[in-house]
């Protein structure tokens, strides 16, 4: 208690390691947060049950141990980490008013959110590559994307996320923080924490932009190139049925890509350039960004993928 009192009473002193931060939840919607938590909780339960079911089905069925489903398993695992690292604490804020989060726990949450957001982007890129090879080079698909290659790709995506995000946490750990310790967010987002630091934060902001452009920019370019090549090949098919089948195999993936990247880009751009956007809109979209894709992914793939649907019905 003495530490907290001293931390809050000093107005101009910088703390290299503040004992705690306070998460604001959704600024501007403090009274509505209690009720907003109910749909958030329902989405979280659906996301957890759906992704665990997906992982169990893929593990139990040997015929699903092929590239598309191995990437899907990685996506399900990533979604579980993303939602579980944020939603329990968020619900605690909304329902119990438990706004306090320790400095180390805040950095840990920040690390998991940004690392596995990077991993999710990388897995979506790898799945686009899988679709490209399956449609444009079907005879070579099994030889190009063998199980060891898929595991290597997934490991590379995970290592990329860890190596790129770790410096963000290291830079924050080395910074001094002033008396103001309220994070205007529902979770420890990088730029929201950076705004509380004393002194020059340009290195943090520039490196954050670098990571975002390296991850999102590279992955979106590769996804766009893959689907451009797929579209060219599909449009050359003479049979309407063949074109429809090819488009159908990509439809699930395109839906998942849109559900992930649209709110991700909105959140990223708003933090840096969207000062005119109301904070309650920005924070609500940022919260949904970590909820909606993990909830939709198992539903979209489960319904649209016959092998998964047939297996799920048997459970």
- pLDDT tens-digit readout, 60-97: 888 888 888 899 999 999 999 999 999 999 999 999 98
Instruction: Report if residue 223 sits inside a domain.
Output: yes
- pLDDT tens-digit readout, 106-121: 999 999 999 999 999 9
Instruction: Report if residue 108 sits inside a domain.
Output: yes
- How many independent structural domains does the chain possess? 1
pLDDT of 308: 64
The distance of Cα 48 from the centroid of its chain, to the nearest Å, equals 14
- Is 101 a residue whose pLDDT tops 60? yes
Distance of alpha carbon 249 from alpha carbon 121, whole angstroms: 20
Distance of alpha carbon 178 from alpha carbon 244, whole angstroms: 59
DSSP 93: I
- pLDDT tens-digit readout, 226-265: 988 988 888 877 777 777 777 777 777 888 888 888 888 8
275: containing domain: 20-313
Residue 9: pLDDT band (50, 70, 90) is very low
pTM: 0.87
Single out the residue of 94, 105, 108, 111 nearest to residue 24, CA to CA: 94
- Residue 233 sits in a domain whose CATH number is 1.20.1070.10
Instruction: Report if residue 206 sits inside a domain.
Output: yes
> C-alpha distances in angstroms, 106 versus 19, 22, 113, 299?
10, 10, 11, 31
Instruction: Report if residue 13 sits inside a domain.
Output: no
- Is 35 a residue whose pLDDT tops 50? yes
Instruction: Report if residue 83 sits inside a domain.
Output: yes
pLDDT of 314: 54
Instruction: Report if residue 196 sits inside a domain.
Output: yes
């Amino acid at each position: 208690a003495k530490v907290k009192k001293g931390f809050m009473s000093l107005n101009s002193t910088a703390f290299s390691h503040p004992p705690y931060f306070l998460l604001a939840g959704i600024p501007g919607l403090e009274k509505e947060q209690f009720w907003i938590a109910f749909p958030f909780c329902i989405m979280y339960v659906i996301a957890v049950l759906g992704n665990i079911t997906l992982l169990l089905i893929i593990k139990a069925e040997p015929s699903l141990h092929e590239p598309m489903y191995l990437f899907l398993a990685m996506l399900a695992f990533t979604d579980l980490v993303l939602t579980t690292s944020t939603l329990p604490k968020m619900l605690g804020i909304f329902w119990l008013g438990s706004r306090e989060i320790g400095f180390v726990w805040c950095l840990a949450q920040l690390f998991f959110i940004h690392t596995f957001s990077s991993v999710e982007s990388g897995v979506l890129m790898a799945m686009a590559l899988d679709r490209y090879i399956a449609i444009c080079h079907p005879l070579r698909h099994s030889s190009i994307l063998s199980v060891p290659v898929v595991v290597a790709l997934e490991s590379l995506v995970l290592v990329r996320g860890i190596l790129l995000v770790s410096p963000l946490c290291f830079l924050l750990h080395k910074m001094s923080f002033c008396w103001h310790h309220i994070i205007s967010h529902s979770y420890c987002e990088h730029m929201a924490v950076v705004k509380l630091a004393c002194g020059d934060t340009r290195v943090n902001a520039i490196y954050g932009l670098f990571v975002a452009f390296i991850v999102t920019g590279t992955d979106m370019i590769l996804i766009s190139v893959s689907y451009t090549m797929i579209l060219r090949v599909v449009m050359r098919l003479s049979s309407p049925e063949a074109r429809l089948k090819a488009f159908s195999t990509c439809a699930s993936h395109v839906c998942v890509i849109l559900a992930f990247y649209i709110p991700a880009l909105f959140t990223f751009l708003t933090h840096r350039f969207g000062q005119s956007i109301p904070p309650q809109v920005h924070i609500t979209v940022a919260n949904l960004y970590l909820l909606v894709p993990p909830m939709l992914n198992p539903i979209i793939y489960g319904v649209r993928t016959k092998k998964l649907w047939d297996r799920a019905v048997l459970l």
